[in-house]
Structure 1
Amino acid sequence: METEPLLVTTADGVATITINRPARKNAITQAMWVELASHVLRLSSEPGVRVIVLRGTGQDFSAGADISEFDTLRGDADSARAYEATNSAAFASLRNCAIPVMAAIRGICFGGGFGLAAACDLRIATSDAQFAVPAARLGLAYPQDAMGDIVWAAGPQMARYLTYTAGRIDAPAALAAGFLLEIVEPARFDTRIDETARTIADNAPLSVRASKAAIRAALSYDAGEIALAQTAGDATFFSDDYAEGRAAFAGRRTPVFKGQ
């Protein structure tokens, strides 16, 4: 019997979602796309969660969508559109999440797995990670909304290369394109992921949320998102955390933020 395909743990403000199908290189089924979106939406609304880490079990992040399902669940235009709606919802849950989402990438990060990583805020990978968007080898079009994530994360030139050629790139190429924040040797990887997530979780949650909203508004130029970002920023000025930050600075101590 297959173990739980998505594992969720939470500790000290850091929630970790683990894609847990190592025998299939963490390939994602349609049911998993739906479940992943549900987990992200739930975690983002929990007051105690301040950052989400998305990762894979074992040596790989994810090989993308489970192709073994395509004949039955993606075999014609109607079913393909329905399937695409489920993975688009998963990408959107990460893209629109109110709190930061980190992708912790080992090994293979292909197709839909690459799309998930592109929808995250920060991406850190091991030095042996490999990246690809092989839709052209399957005769499929990548979802337009998810393509937007790839363009923003890797740049239009790299997005063209990956989708036109279906070729692979290594971690240094992904770093040079701006897709990765950092490359870490495998022996230090888990420690570095924990350090980064812990640093985010220890900062003022309202401030971090306001920064995420402001960055999103700056990229989109959308009037609604600009207004939301302004509201989120204004809320920090009246918060207990703002008072705590000032008091901690004056007292030369570490602040303890409560997200209020």
Structure 2
Amino acid sequence: MASIRGMEPDLLHGVTDAVATVVLHHPAKRNAMTAAMWAALPPLLDTLAADPAVRALVLTGAGGTFCAGADISTLLGSPQEAQELAGRAEEALAAFPKPTLAAIRGHCVGGGAQLAAACDLRFAEDGARFGVTPAKLGIVYPSGATRRLVSLVGPATAKYLLFSGELIDTERALRTGLVDEVLPVDGLDERIAEFTRVLVSRSGLTQAAAKEFANGRTDRDAHWSAQARGSGDTGEGVAAFLERREPRFTWTTSV
């Protein structure tokens, strides 16, 4: 993991056992995203996506909170530019070609919820709080982020969150589909480690194709059929099943 530079806002990252971890680090403001942090996320994701050693990515926050949103001080000069930076970071995260998982503690609010929703999966520690808060600031939430939120929680809950800016607890977040699992306090790290081991043991070919299809890309059947024929993953998976052993998948994405 890149070294922590005091209390300065930063994106920390490291790769262990094929899992990249990106840590939102701005402890003085509960990991609120500065303009520089928003701008740094897309090129960092590009680098990690191109690394064949990376099979999955975990996004989390430093300390006891995920992300309290955008650093409001960065909105004072050019709120439109700040929103554009946030939108580009969100879309870069959503487009990451390998499985992504948000590990959430504490507050996941505003821009933090925007980033969490852009991940494929969200695991939260019990007691976390979630909110989509542009109505508190008079900000128009981007259409792409709104559609992504609706796809997770449905129109009614998305409107509740967007219209009110109210925070919801982990029980409601789980019930509405905003999070996939809720873990007991101090159980999140262990579950993330366990689940990412599962992810990196599975076929990257299957995951990459499934991610595209689930995200609405409907014109790539021929591409993925060709990838499957040339990958060897299907033959390895069947052989491993018949031989009652763990498969050793070798396909890697190209970006």
TM-score w.r.t. length of structure 2: 0.92
Q: Distance in 1 between the 2:209 and 2:153 partners?
A: 24
Matched to 2:210, the amino acid is S
SS at match of 1:179: coil
Partner of 2:81: 82
* RMSD of equivalent CA atoms: 1.5
> Structure 1 40/180 Cα, relative in aligned 2: closer, same or farther at 3 Å?
same
Q: Distance in 1 between the 2:221 and 2:50 partners?
A: 17
Structure 2 segments unaligned to the other structure (5+ residues)? 1-5
Partner of 2:233: 241
1:227 to 219, 231, 254: 219
1:41 aligns with 2:46: yes
> Structure 1 184/145 Cα, relative in aligned 2: closer, same or farther at 3 Å?
same
Are the aligned partners of 1:214 and 1:230 in contact in 2 as well (CA < 8 Å)?
no
Moved over 6 A (4+): none
> Structure 1 230/61 Cα, relative in aligned 2: closer, same or farther at 3 Å?
farther
Partner of 2:251: 259
Aligned sequence identity (%): 37
1:199 aligns with 2:233: no
Are the aligned partners of 1:51 and 1:200 in contact in 2 as well (CA < 8 Å)?
yes
Are the aligned partners of 1:101 and 1:122 in contact in 2 as well (CA < 8 Å)?
yes
> Structure 1 56/230 Cα, relative in aligned 2: closer, same or farther at 3 Å?
farther
Task: Give the 5 Å matches for 1:63-74.
Answer: 63-72=68-77, 74=78
Partner of 1:147: 146
Q: CA deviation at 1:230?
A: 4.2
Are the aligned partners of 1:134 and 1:167 in contact in 2 as well (CA < 8 Å)?
yes
Task: Give the 5 Å matches for 1:8-47.
Answer: 8-47=13-52
SS at match of 1:102: strand
The one-character-per-residue Cα deviations of 1:46-104 (angstroms, maximum 9, x if unpaired) are 222111100001110000100022222x2xxxxx3222211111110111121111111
SS at match of 1:2: coil
TM-score w.r.t. length of structure 1: 0.90
The one-character-per-residue Cα deviations of 1:173-209 (angstroms, maximum 9, x if unpaired) are 0111111111001221100011111111111111111
* Matched length: 247
Q: CA deviation at 1:3?
A: 4.2
1:208 aligns with 2:207: yes
